[in-house]
Structures are given as C-alpha cells and as structure tokens.
Structure 1
C-alpha cells in the first residue's frame, strides 16, 4: 500500500468534508496552493472495533488535515484529545462518505480542524471491520511574507522592507549592491540607476524576494508642443528638474506660444516645486523675463533656484509636482 501513497495524496485534497463544529470545510483551490508539514504518518492493519491511538504535536496555531485511505468502505470513529485528556473533537466517517479513485485503487477521505491551538494531542481511530489503512495528519504551514514584491526608488533614497508571519531570524542580501544595498533590518538604499533583487531568507530556509528598480532623482515629463494648447493660449512648462553638484535646483523649462502673436516678455513668473506630500521644495519667481517667441514656436531655457533658497535640499524629485503662473506680453505682427 505504501507505493500508492503519493498518488492518492494529491487526489484527496479536493475532498475535505465538514462533519462537526470542529472538523470544517476547506476551499479546494486554496488547499492546492498551501504548503503542509507532516505531523503524523501511519499505516497498518486495523482490527475491527479495536482502538488505535497515536500522539502528535501542533507547534503553532494552524489548520490541520487528517487523511484516510482504505481498500474498502467501512465506518470509522475519529476522536482527538488534548494534553489534559479532554475531548477536543470527534467525528464518524460512514461507509457512504468515502470517495473511490480508479487510478489510485483506494477509497479516500479527509477531515480538517481549523485554527487548532499549539500543543500535544492524541488521536484515536476505530474501524468497524478489519482493514488495511494509511493515515496522515498534516499541518498547514504559516509561510512568511514580504511587505513588497517590487518597488521603485530614486537614487539616494531608502525604503524599509519587512518580513511578516515569522518569528525566525532573517538575513538580507542584494543581488547587485552597486544599484541598491540592504542592511540587517531590511532598509534598502538606492545607489544608482538599475535593477536589483533583494532577498530575505528565514532561518528555516524560506526565501522571499523584492525587485528593486532604481531611477535617477530627476523630475521629467514629455516636452509640450502647440498641439497641447488651445489656440490663443501659451504654456510654461518645466520638463526636467535635478539637483546640481553644488546643491542648486536646476529647472529646464519650455515656453510654448500658440497665442497668434509674437510674445516678447513674461511677467510675474512663479514656479513652485513640491514633494509628493505637498511640502514646498523651492520657488523660482521673477517680475520680468524678456524673450522673443513667434506664434507656433517654442523656446527652451534654464532657471536655477539657489541652494540657499531651497526649503528642502534633498527631495525626491522623481515624485515631485510643480505649478507655474504668470502673464505674457505680445506684439502684433503680420
């Protein structure tokens, strides 16, 4: 009978039946995706109306499953007792409850106990006829999880990863430390643009990974054209922004003229950059900016907010936002 155990084990997972308040239903799809530890594995020949007794231990609060395999249908009493000898739960498997699998050549049945407390237990079986049998008790593994499967960081910024559902020690590593490093507490520090995989390994050997993508700490958007404006309007855009080596914030700007006139000057210009949390990084303002931009044309230029005037000298520009305002002065031409 032992040679058939592996084949029928996978089949019986689909048939875990609710019989009492202790033994409960299990979703068949979830059951196929979960991992289990074997708490007890027995086989032999049962004598009719003679009790069989087995001890087992549940290490952590979890769901357990009891699996039975017999060559012919029969009735079977099942009882579980806690370490104090008190009845934890019982059930009866009737001859009409078993499921037959042609390929396995055995009848199969399964019971589950949801949220079983950790501790020592004893299970008794009593068949009403002589029979060979296989009997297993499996505990659902509580697998550790990682807080993020993927994340994108700007160069110079950090993100803390966490491993939940485990009390084990965890070791951290990065597949490409030149892109991002990780310390013993799971704090990832972005170093340069690229990708790396952060791996958390539990003491028991479970590996959890997070793909980290690192991008330059630069604000960027597609350059504006006249097709982005209604006729009669102009637009002032910051299409790129980054910190200079001296700490100044450099704004690469574009003015788009679709007014129908030649623009000769911008007045009361104000550009304010803010973090994704809404806090001001810095503001550029001027009362007058001379320029000459014909209708249907654009002009690119660079503005600088000095480091001394910045309210945030190390902001995540990649996730920043900005607002711009001002007026334009134009002249008629034909």
Structure 2
C-alpha cells in the first residue's frame, strides 16, 4: 500500500468527520463573539441529530434522494429554536452561562432519549436508508494526485462546511452585521452607546450557533452513525468547542482545528487497516481525539484570548 493510497483513504474520512465539527464550531464562534458562552453545543448537536434521523425515517419515501438535505434544514430550525432556551436564561435572566449550557446538554439528551423510547419503543431509532451519498466531484476529481486524495469518495456536504467557514469569516470581519456581533462581545457598553441593540445581537448570536450546531449534529448522524441513540453525539460538541478555542475564536482557525480533530477521529476508525498505524494498540487511536481535545481546551497549544465581554451579562446603564 503506497503513501498516496493511504492518503486517499485518510483524507476523505478526515473531511467527512470534520464537517460536523466545522459547522458546530462556526456556530460557537457566533455565540461567543457576541459575548455568550455556549457550552451547550453538545446538546444542540444532539437535538439536530435526533430531528434529522426521525425526519429522515418518517419522510424518506416521500422525499427520496432529497431526504437528508431537507432533514438537515429541519434539524437546523428545531435546534435554533431550542437554543432560545439558553439565550433567555443567559441573556434575559442573566443566569450563569456555563450552568445554562450544561443544563441544555442534559435537557437535550434526556428529552431525545425519552422521545426515542416513546416513538420506537426501544433505546435507539432504526437505521436510515437515505444518507448523503459519496461521489467523485466532477472535474476536480480528475486532477492528477490531488483529485484522488481530496475530491474522490466525498460528500458535497463536507465541502459545503469548508466553504461556509470562508463565508462566515467574510460575514464576521467584512460586514456591518459582523462588526456589531464582535462589538457586543468586546465592549457592549460602547456598542450600546453607538445604537447597537446588545440584547438583540446576543440573541442572534446564540440562535445562529443553535442553527449551525443543529446542522452539525444532523450531518454527523446522517453520515457517520446513520441512526440515533445515546452515543450518536459522543463528545463531538465539546470537540467543536475545543476547535473554536484552538482556532482563537476565528472562523478559519476553527475550521483548521476541526480538520485536525477530524484527522484524529479518522485515524481512530481507519488506522487499524493502515500500515503506518496497524502496530499501534487500537485503544491509543480511539482515545487520541479526546486527548487532543483536552490539550486544546487547556490552552496548551498557543495562547487564546477570548472576547473581552465573554460570559459577562450586560446590564444597560451599569458601569
């Protein structure tokens, strides 16, 4: 097995596993850039995964090949609405944002497992038959060497995640909306003085994070597990959070970190079949993504300065 063949196995798996992390990490960027800590990304992914799988199973016959795409959109909307709970608690009621996010995680997992048991009378859903198909991207897959590695046996949703990272970068750093988002996360009082509605912008930041995390959960469930159970989202939300911090709250940095974590996850799955990793005990490959997450969260890799008003409730008129 030559090196190029190894890359043609690892890279598509890396991109596929990184896509849910990219979507969710980008959502986290919006929330935390607006000044609201969102530990609840894991729970929002759980909601997205649950809704996408249940919708897919219910409407696969009617929608056909479009089913996974529509399921992702429905998951996005439901997860966005679910994130309003975090926004109300942390922005309107000024509750501790970390506690609110943790509560969101517990509520999401508990409610979805209860509904799975209620609907399917067992601990998990059935497996979906309509998922995102893997294709060779026209023209790009014909490029010598690179085409086979990066553009063969991939799904379009994975590259949509990468393109979205550049779109989010442009939105946050090159548009008035992005300036307002960043201003309420850095100095909300100054933003308020300039006529920016701090509460509205923070609500929007949290709701956008909910929408993106819902997409991330839906994509993970629809490409990796193909069903929903207690272990469908198993730390991916926290990996996305780590990717956002590792990427220094920057969309492109978050994307790069998510790809790095996706590589670690891909090695834990396909590593045993590769000559470079087959002699490494499988347990080391399995724990690698989580060890890297802990390293990133502890700030070991570079210094990461959070938005100055992150986690601080804004009280109008208070100095």
**Higher share of residues assigned strand:** 1
**Higher share of residues assigned helix:** 2
Q: TM-score, normalised by structure 1?
A: 0.18
Q: TM-score, normalised by structure 2?
A: 0.19
> Of the two structures, which has the highest relative contact order with CA contacts closer than 8 Å and spacing of 6 or more?
2
Q: Rg larger in 1 or in 2?
A: 1
